[in-house]
Amino acid sequence: MTPPLRIGYVPEHFSTPLHFAVSHFSLPCTLIPFPSGTGHMITSLQANEIDVGIGLTEGWIAGLGKAQAERREAGYKMVGAYVETPLCWAISTGGKRKDLRDVHQLKGTRMGVSRIGRYAFADCYALLVVDMLMRRSSGSYVMGFVLADKHGWLNTQASSANDASPFDIVPLQTFENLREAVNDGFTADFFMWEHFTSKRYYDNGVIKKIGEIYTPWPSWHIVARPDVIGDERLEVMIENLNLGIKYFEEHHDEAVQYISTELDYSAEDAREWLKTVNFAEDVRGVRGSVVEKTVEVLKKAGVLGEVELEGMIGIRRKD
C-alpha cells in the first residue's frame, strides 16, 4: 500500500484550511508540525522526512536559489500557491526595553532569527569541507535583508549576504526562544514575526512592537519533493486542500472557534486576521511572475545572486 503524503506545516492560524481539509474532507496525509518554520521544513524535505511543505514564499525561494548557487539539489520544487495576500512582519523588542522605540535605531543591533543560511565551501586543494550547515533559510532571516534594503543599510560591496547585513544575526530556532532572547538583556535586540502571532504577547507586555514591514509578494506557497510531483497523492492533496479553503471561507465562525481554542490566539484577533487574508481559490501551480518578483527583491536585498527561475517551479500556472 502506498503511504500517505507527509505534509509539513507551521502550526499557526494560516494552517486552518489544512486542518479543515483533514477533518471535513478526509485528506489522506500525515501532518507534521514545524513550529520553527520554513527553514526547518527545508532540511526535512532534503532528508526525505516530509514530502510536501506549506511555508513562507521567501524562505522557499531563498533555499532554492542558494542550492543553485552551490550546484546541488534543493530537495524540493514549488508546486502551489496557498495565501495570496502579503504577510505583515511585526518588528518586536523586549516588553520593558526603553532604549529601542523605533525601527531607525536597529542598524548595528542583534537580530534574532529562527534559522540562518550559511554558505558551504571546499578548499580546492585540501578538499576540506569547512561548513555544510547551509541548507536552510527562514523567513525571519530573509526579511531582515529586505528591511535593511528598505532603509538603505546594506553593505552593497560585501562578498556575501552575511557580510552585507547591518545586524549581528542570532539563530534561535523558535518563537518562544525569540521572545525570551529580546528580554534577557544580551542575546538579541529585536526579531520579526507575523503580526497576529505576536499580538498576544504585545497585549500581555512580554514584547513590544516598534514597527512592521510587509512582504512584497504573496506570503505562503506549497512545495514538494521532485519524486512526488505528478504523483496521484499530490493531486488528491490539492483537491482536498481546495475544499478545505472553500469550507474555511464559508465557515468563519468555525475557523475562529478552532483558532482561538486550538492555537495561540484570541477570538478577537482571529476575527481581525480574517479581514486581512485571502487564500488561493485553486492552490495548484505557481505563477512565474511571483517567483521572478520575489527573486528580484531578494537579489536587491543581497540574499540571492543570479538564479535560474525555471528550475524552481515544479507545477506552473498561467500568469
| pLDDT at residue 154, as a whole number | 82
Model pTM score:
0.84
Query: What average pLDDT is seen over the chain?
Result: 89
Split at pLDDT 50, 70, 90, the class of 161 is: low
Structural contact between residues 144 and 165, judged by C-beta atoms closer than 8 angstroms: yes
Dump pLDDT digits (tens) for 254-266: 999 999 999 989 9
CATH topology of domain 88-214: D-Maltodextrin-Binding Protein; domain 2 (3.40.190)
CATH topology of domain 5-86+218-317: D-Maltodextrin-Binding Protein; domain 2 (3.40.190)
Q: Which DSSP string corresponds to 58-117?
A: HHHHHHHHHHHHTTS--S-EEEEEEE-SPPEEEEEEETT--S--SGGG-TTSEEEES---
| pLDDT at residue 129, as a whole number | 21
Split at pLDDT 50, 70, 90, the class of 156 is: low
φ/ψ of 24, rounded to 5, equals -110, -20
Residue ranges per structural domain of the chain: 5-86+218-317, 88-214
Q: Which has the minimum average pLDDT: 97-101, 131-135, 271-275?
A: 131-135
- Cα angle for residues 260, 243, 195 (degrees, 5° grid): 35
Q: Is the pLDDT of residue 120 over 50?
A: no
Q: Is the pLDDT of residue 121 over 90?
A: no
* Fold match between domain 5-86+218-317 and domain 88-214: yes
- How many angstroms separate the CA atoms of 226 and 315, rounded? 10
